[in-house]
Structure 1
Amino acid sequence: MQLTGWRRTVAFVAIIMGFFMALLDATIVNVALPDMTRSFHSGMDHMSWVVNGYNLAFAVCLITASRLADQFGRKRLFMIGVTGFVIASALVGLSDSLPMLVTFRVIQGMAAAIVVPVTIPLAVDLFPPQMRGMIMGIWGGISGLAAASGPTLGGILTDAMGWQAVFYVNLPIGLICLLLSVRLLRESVDPSAGRGIDWLGMGLLTGAMFSLTYALIQANEWGWSSPKLLVLLGAAAVLLVIFLMVESRLRNPMLPLRLFRIGTFNWACLTLLLIGAGVMAPSFLMSYFLTGLLGKSVLQAGLIISAMPLASMVVSASVGALANRFGSRLFVGTGMAVLAASTWLLGDLTAASPLSAIVWRLALFGVGMGLAMAPVMGSVIRNVPEEKIGIASGVTNMTRALGSVMGVALLVMVLNQAVADNTVKAGADIAAWVSADERLPAGAKAELAVQMKEVGGSGEAGGAALRSWVEHYPAGAELAARIGGRMQEASAASFARAFHLGGAVLLAGIVAGLLSDSRKSRIAAEGSASVTAAAGSAEG
């Protein structure tokens, strides 16, 4: 029996609080990393595992957590996940060494992998089918709010109370979520899932996902042709093939392979994979663009970037119900086109771009996210059997998480190569300017030309050379300004190449988005037709 009135609303708030908390922690920590680096006297290469450990555990555990929730109770697993997340958050804040910090961040990621996919079937269970589009719109809006508030809230908390505060903020949110959940949420399971645990399947899938995710995280550090990387990718492929062979022979597999006979489900997964990869261009790179190239503070950068998820939140809340009524295809396809266009347009920005030019591009990107995300998740819910919404949520969240990791790996590779290429070009130009400037002494010209060839006008040697010019030579200040402008051009061109890559990836998602839902009729005309019947129609 479904809850009604205020009890259903409060129960939904409890679910959303857990979802918000888990997503918030993926973005709020980034702002605190410099403070954490100083606190632990560590380098960014080691500190990056504060983020990588969380992402690795999250991606690896999603499907396993979804399957266990379907078998043993979604409310039960949700509360276990929230409890684990709260405890891990407290222990991260109390950590006095980097290994301890990373360990508890991994536990946080595992807990988040339980919480995030279970929120969809729990929320769907509260409402009748005709309201699920609106619910997915709110779900997408909350996702945008978490992304929007993460950088800003993280900056405020870190400035006021130190890096520990970005983890302690989870404690009140999680405790309120637990108090509401224990009273108001009802238990639900997948009756067809059985009670036996597929240990072999879980082990094989965990090994495959770990190998693949870890390989992508380490790709740029090891090199894409590294034997270690190739071994991991090969291991992931072999384990995945064995997993599929084992699952195809089981009566109650942990991952029902019949889901992949639903064409719209496959296209939705591909859409989410491409979204996860493509959106990392603005999500991952904009903070570096704003702070490194434009000289904005971390807090200023967070406020500027918030235009993107805030726009997404507004649009998501509006289009969810419409997509449920008219079908998702055109919304998702249009959203992917807007995402691709806005990401490509970010590549036109330079160090001289006005703030308005940056904000409207980010806001347009947010509109694309709002048009695509909630409708594609709504399509998944409509087109799979109702009892399989839990495991389907785990698969879709995993594909998006893998897309994000893949997107970061590709962007870092492209950006590093672009920086190398553009720095060489800038260094050649700078060396030519120094050699041709007749106002500089011959000895200084020779020395500084060598330095510029080596560092391209950047780095400590280049900076010291420029300061020396400004201090000792009348021509130095003028030439320093010219060199500074050339290096900014090189940086902007490097970012442009990465943004254009993200735009190309998202452009490929337009077709997938258009195929992610086969429904053309209005859902209102179907009355209370079951989601299972809709899935059967989709398979046919």
Structure 2
Amino acid sequence: MPQTPKPKLTILVVVLTAFVTTFTGSALNLSIPDLSQEFHAGAGMVGWLVTGYTLAVAACSVPAGRVADITSLKSVLAIGVGLFTICCIAAVFSISIMMLILIRVVQGIGAAMIFSTNTAVLLKAFPAENHGRVIGYSLAATYAGLSSGPVLGGFLNQHFGWKAIFIVTGVITTAACIAVLRLPGDKNVKNLKTDSCGESHHLLTDTDLHGKTLQQLVRRKSNQQQDPEETLTKPHSLDLTGNLLYLISIVLLMYGLSEIGKGWISPVLAGVGLAVGMFFLRHEYRTEEPAVDIRMFRENIGYGFSNLSALLNYGATFAISYLVSIYLQVVQGFSSQATGLIMIAQPAIMAGLSPVAGKLSDRFSPFKLSSIGMGLCALGTCLFVFLNQGTSLWIVITALIITGFGFALFSSPNTNAVMSCVEETNYGVASSILATMRSIGHTISMVIVTIIVTCCMGDASLAEASPGILIRVIRIAFIIFTGICIAGVFISLKRR
């Protein structure tokens, strides 16, 4: 795979887009009360600023990735960044909550284009032996956005208002727009086809024995079996039916899950979404050029279990910040500002260690490293099970650091493992599936919390709960999250 003439510019584009897509959401969360007051909107309506964005990202990631694989990764990335920038500008001039929600939905579509292409563009810019390292840079920027969002977002909202968040975000994405337009166009290059659908799980044994990267072993096997002059060709079919079924399934499933506990219609919608999803899988399995190659999940153990591991990891860890922040404020009595400074420990560790973990995955088995990371996440969530009213703050910080270290060690190597199992022409869809696993995992994590809260507290909010009941909710939630992480460890190891 030849290296692009502008690898540093590619890293800049990916780092900026990875940072801004996470920063915007985490920063805007602190403006919810002000937005509710300014537009005279209820909590449910304002909540759609988050829900609408999340649904758009989840529903459009795979279609955007498919379009990018068929046409041009750079073009889809450029359109996504441009759309995101335009929405930042439009948000500043919003005159109603409905207008702002619509802008956030469109911005979510732009974010889906970014998520489905920025990792793919990054990997095409560097040789396979450096993939883990550069993936680490991207994830470090993602966690930097998550960690700086509450701090910088709170400052901007308090001193300049919520519009300042969109202004700062727009400036960053404008710089990203200029940078992405300077990237070279996609090229159809001569390369060796990888035997990614059926052999990578056998090659992993060689990875463990000889210290080779998965990409190097796939390439070596290809040398033995393929014509060295064979050219990688782009897929030709958009698979409109498959993409439509996917979009309907994800929207109904995620919306139904996110509204669990608010009436009988939510589980019905989730069930319909699941049923449509079954039709989607059946259609994809029978289609010659599917939007998502379902056969890969069955025939390639490394690819299928790596995506499943990602789903479990996000599902077990996303609600940590939500639960711990409420624990620190309600039980321990810290202010929201102090809580934010304490909570920054986890994403800061993620941002600092992700490049290191990614670089290690270029030298050692990414499957082993991500399994160790999942184990550390299990240890961290297990520590949270023992929280009580007298727990030392240092124990909380230690648990946050352990889960941050575990997630950093899991995420970069696991992403490297997933992308190692697909051909270059499928990078877009592979990236978008990972983004979908993240979105679904986040939703499942909060659904688990919602169900526990409903069973223990009824309609009361966590912020209004007594310390004793809150601790009970936290313990039950983290017992479940620890179990999910332990299951994830076994699934990660199963890839061998």
Which residue of the partner structure matches residue 521 of structure 1? none
Deviations 1:166-213 (A, max 9, x none): 222211111111111111343257964444432211111111111111
TM-score, length of structure 1 as denominator length? 0.79
Contact 2:361/2:413, CA 8 A, preserved across alignment: yes
CA distance in 2, matches of 1:87, 1:59: 20
Does residue 1:490 correspond to 2:473, yes or no?
no
CA distance in 1, matches of 2:92, 2:41: 17
Which residue of the partner structure matches residue 215 of structure 1? 256
Does residue 1:341 correspond to 2:362, yes or no?
no
| Equivalent position to 1:502, from 474, 481, 493 | 481
CA distance in 1, matches of 2:396, 2:35: 29
TM-score, length of structure 2 as denominator length? 0.86
Deviations 1:203-251 (A, max 9, x none): 11111111111111111212xxx2x234323322332232233333333
Contact 1:281/1:498, CA 8 A, preserved across alignment: no
User: Relative to total residues, which structure has the larger helix share, 1 or 2?
Assistant: 1
Contact 1:88/1:108, CA 8 A, preserved across alignment: yes
> In the alignment, residue 443 of structure 2 is paired with which amino acid?
V
Which residue of the partner structure matches residue 161 of structure 1? 160
Contact 2:388/2:471, CA 8 A, preserved across alignment: yes
CA distance in 2, matches of 1:259, 1:497: 36
Does residue 1:402 correspond to 2:440, yes or no?
yes
Deviations 1:323-368 (A, max 9, x none): 2211112211111111112112123223443332222211111001
**Secondary structure of the structure 1 residue equivalent to 2:288:** coil
CA distance in 2, matches of 1:93, 1:294: 37
Which residue of the partner structure matches residue 244 of structure 2? 203
CA distance in 1, matches of 2:92, 2:379: 40
Which residue of the partner structure matches residue 468 of structure 1? none
**Secondary structure of the structure 2 residue equivalent to 1:220:** coil
Which residue of the partner structure matches residue 492 of structure 2? 513
> In the alignment, residue 2 of structure 1 is paired with which amino acid?
Q
Q: CA deviation at 1:280?
A: 2.0
> In the alignment, residue 173 of structure 2 is paired with which amino acid?
G
**Secondary structure of the structure 2 residue equivalent to 1:197:** coil
Which residue of the partner structure matches residue 79 of structure 2? 80
CA distance in 1, matches of 2:444, 2:20: 24
Q: Which one has a bigger Cα radius of gyration?
A: 1
Which residue of the partner structure matches residue 445 of structure 1? none
Q: Which runs of 5+ in 2 are unaligned?
A: 190-231
Contact 1:57/1:106, CA 8 A, preserved across alignment: yes
> In the alignment, residue 4 of structure 2 is paired with which amino acid?
L
Does residue 1:240 correspond to 2:239, yes or no?
no
Contact 1:211/1:235, CA 8 A, preserved across alignment: yes
> In the alignment, residue 180 of structure 2 is paired with which amino acid?
S
**Secondary structure of the structure 1 residue equivalent to 2:408:** helix
Q: CA deviation at 1:10?
A: 2.3
CA distance in 1, matches of 2:144, 2:135: 14
**Secondary structure of the structure 1 residue equivalent to 2:116:** helix
Quickly say closer, same or farther: Cα 1:402–1:90, change in 2 above 3 A.
Answer: same
Does residue 1:365 correspond to 2:403, yes or no?
yes
Which residue of the partner structure matches residue 317 of structure 1? 355
| Equivalent position to 2:425, from 362, 387, 394 | 387
**Secondary structure of the structure 2 residue equivalent to 1:52:** helix
Which residue of the partner structure matches residue 253 of structure 1? 290
> In the alignment, residue 187 of structure 1 is paired with which amino acid?
D
Quickly say closer, same or farther: Cα 1:139–1:514, change in 2 above 3 A.
Answer: farther
**Secondary structure of the structure 2 residue equivalent to 1:184:** coil
Which residue of the partner structure matches residue 219 of structure 2? none
CA distance in 1, matches of 2:140, 2:33: 29
CA distance in 1, matches of 2:414, 2:455: 34
Q: CA deviation at 1:386?
A: 2.5
CA distance in 2, matches of 1:53, 1:74: 25
**Secondary structure of the structure 2 residue equivalent to 1:350:** coil
Q: CA deviation at 1:503?
A: 1.9
Which residue of the partner structure matches residue 49 of structure 2? 50
Does residue 1:415 correspond to 2:456, yes or no?
no
Contact 1:411/1:501, CA 8 A, preserved across alignment: no
CA distance in 2, matches of 1:156, 1:46: 24
Contact 1:384/1:392, CA 8 A, preserved across alignment: yes
Aligned residues: 451
CA distance in 1, matches of 2:268, 2:424: 39
CA distance in 1, matches of 2:242, 2:405: 39
> In the alignment, residue 512 of structure 1 is paired with which amino acid?
I
Contact 2:257/2:267, CA 8 A, preserved across alignment: no
Which residue of the partner structure matches residue 208 of structure 2? none
Deviations 1:277-329 (A, max 9, x none): 11123132222222333333333222211100111122211121212211112
**Secondary structure of the structure 1 residue equivalent to 2:95:** coil
CA distance in 2, matches of 1:69, 1:256: 15
> In the alignment, residue 278 of structure 2 is paired with which amino acid?
V
CA distance in 1, matches of 2:488, 2:387: 24
**Secondary structure of the structure 1 residue equivalent to 2:319:** helix
Q: CA deviation at 1:513?
A: 1.9
Which residue of the partner structure matches residue 171 of structure 2? 172
**Secondary structure of the structure 1 residue equivalent to 2:27:** helix
CA distance in 2, matches of 1:32, 1:106: 17
Contact 1:75/1:188, CA 8 A, preserved across alignment: no
Which residue of the partner structure matches residue 96 of structure 1? 95
CA distance in 2, matches of 1:165, 1:414: 36
- Percent of paired sites with the same residue: 26
CA distance in 1, matches of 2:370, 2:38: 44
Further displaced range: 130-139 or 341-350: 341-350
Does residue 1:28 correspond to 2:66, yes or no?
no
CA distance in 1, matches of 2:235, 2:318: 38
Q: CA deviation at 1:499?
A: 2.4
CA distance in 2, matches of 1:151, 1:390: 30
> In the alignment, residue 86 of structure 2 is paired with which amino acid?
I
Q: Which runs of 5+ in 1 are unaligned?
A: 424-454, 460-485, 519-540
Quickly say closer, same or farther: Cα 1:417–1:16, change in 2 above 3 A.
Answer: same
Aligned CA RMSD, in angstroms, stands at: 2.3
CA distance in 1, matches of 2:65, 2:368: 29
CA distance in 1, matches of 2:188, 2:43: 43
Further displaced range: 400-409 or 502-511: 502-511
Which residue of the partner structure matches residue 438 of structure 1? none
> In the alignment, residue 400 of structure 1 is paired with which amino acid?
R
Q: CA deviation at 1:413?
A: 1.2
Further displaced range: 268-277 or 159-168: 159-168
CA distance in 1, matches of 2:319, 2:252: 24
> In the alignment, residue 380 of structure 1 is paired with which amino acid?
V
**Secondary structure of the structure 2 residue equivalent to 1:169:** helix
